[in-house]
Amino acid sequence: MGLARELSSSDFDSVVLQSTVPVLVDFWAPWCGPCRMVAPAVEQLAGEFQGKALVCKVNVDDCQDIAMRYRITSIPTLMVFKGG
């Protein structure tokens, strides 16, 4: 298991929108080649920013509601959330 936290639809709001620190969210899917290429960099950021920011991953296949809410039309998409 990596340092980037896997999120589900049920915990996205509580983890990301209510966080007191900035959150980097990687919207990805297991079948996406470019997503797999970006994953090591995302994991490295998770390690470098541990304690200062959160790094999370959202599988768009499993969390289609979150992907639709943020209008994710292509992956990988990286978004930074600060103060919700």
Q: Which residues are catalytic?
A: 32, 35
Residue of 71, 81, 72 lying closest to 12 (CA atoms): 81
Upper half-sphere CA count for residue 27 (Cβ side, 13 Å): 23
Cβ-contact 27, 58 below 8 angstroms = yes
